[in-house]
Structure 1
Amino acid sequence: MQNSITVDQQADVIMRDNLVELLKGGFAPVVILLEEFHFDKAGVDLDGLPFSAWSLLEHMKHRQKVLLQFMKDPEDNPEVWPEAYWPDNPVPENEEIWNNSIAEFQKDLEEMINLVKDPDTELYKVYSNGKTLAWAAMTTFHHNAYTIGQVKAIGRQLGVW
């Protein structure tokens, strides 16, 4: 008996692979860019911008965590777009806290990627808030891409890249 894959199964595999690629950052790998950013410039506020790279990292990490919690337990975490989180202090206390924040962001991102890869994860089921897990993954990569672009622009102005 031949083991064949249906068109729907093939489309599901392709969609999951695409989501994983986008979550990682595609041509702008989010975690690598964060790790390359110089700690000593992470708290610099440029004229005209209301945030530093540290503020953006914490904002991005918080939003990603909210969406991950929804993906892990959608019925008990229906609030997927709460008020935006911004840290009170735009400067990380020290390099260890900066690095730990990047590591926590990466850990949560990897957990989300593993959920997307898992064929038992129901990406397309609509939950009580009207959202799907695929929506949460796409929202995460969209928000991360937008925010890492801001980090990249700050880094360019500060001579990081």
Structure 2
Amino acid sequence: MASENDIDQLVRAQLVELLKGGFAPNVILLREFNYDKAGVMLEGLHFSAWILLGHIRARHQTLLNFMKAPADNPEVWPDAHWPENHVPQSEQEWNQAIDAYAAELDEMIQLVQNPNTDLFEVQANGETRSWAAMTTLHHTGYHIGQLKTIGRQLGVW
């Protein structure tokens, strides 16, 4: 039978793998997406890759803030932020947004990996840090799938 410590380490390792994107690493997919296609909105969709990245980051930041300081950030599911501009102003802005997402993801991963981070302590809002990490990976995975589909339609992959 696995020890409590072994189970804790296993859960943390699995969360980290899935936060990164599992078999399709999120940061790599974002970096592969052509900047010149990041603002294209396909017919029937209300978002471009740029809008998706902004939405992913806004939700990710909310959940990361909760994980860092749960008592100060109890609102974990505010109204969805969808950027109004569908085109990045420059390739530099696109790359900076990806860099910022990667840094925020690394920060969340460091929290998950830290054995001093209590992933299962129920906070005043009824949620846990593990819930925030799983919500992040689920939400990001959903929208990365949309981004991947857009990219395929636009000939990125």
* TM-score with structure 1 setting the length: 0.96
Aligned residue in 2 for 1:77: 73
Distance apart, 1:37 and its partner CA: 0.1
Q: Which amino acid aligns with 2:17?
A: E
Aligned residue in 2 for 1:64: 60
**d(CA) in 2 for partners of 1:97 and 1:83?**
25
**d(CA) in 2 for partners of 1:97 and 1:77?**
28
Aligned residue in 2 for 1:49: 45
**d(CA) in 2 for partners of 1:87 and 1:9?**
42
Aligned residue in 2 for 1:148: 144
Q: Which amino acid aligns with 1:18?
A: Q
Structure 2: gaps spanning 5 or more residues: none
Aligned sequence identity (%)? 59
Q: Give runs of aligned pairs for residues 9-158 of structure 1, distance below 5 A.
A: 9-158=5-154
Q: Secondary structure at the match of 1:67?
A: helix
Q: Which amino acid aligns with 1:30?
A: N
**d(CA) in 2 for partners of 1:26 and 1:158?**
24
**d(CA) in 1 for partners of 2:25 and 2:130?**
20
**d(CA) in 2 for partners of 1:31 and 1:62?**
16
Q: Which portions of structure 1, spanning 4 or more consecutive aligned residues, are displaced by more than 3 angstroms?
A: none
Distance apart, 1:28 and its partner CA: 1.2
Q: Which amino acid aligns with 2:90?
A: N
**d(CA) in 2 for partners of 1:152 and 1:31?**
12
Q: What is the number of residues matched between the two proteins?
A: 156
1:40-98 per-position Cα deviation (integer Å, ceiling 9, x unaligned) = 00000000111000000000011000000000000000000000001111000110000
Q: Which amino acid aligns with 1:154?
A: I
**d(CA) in 1 for partners of 2:94 and 2:66?**
26
Distance apart, 1:159 and its partner CA: 0.0
1:6-65 per-position Cα deviation (integer Å, ceiling 9, x unaligned) = 711100000000000000000110000000000000000000111000000000011000
Greater CA radius of gyration, 1 or 2?
Answer: 1
CA RMSD of aligned residues (A): 0.6
Q: Which amino acid aligns with 1:86?
A: W
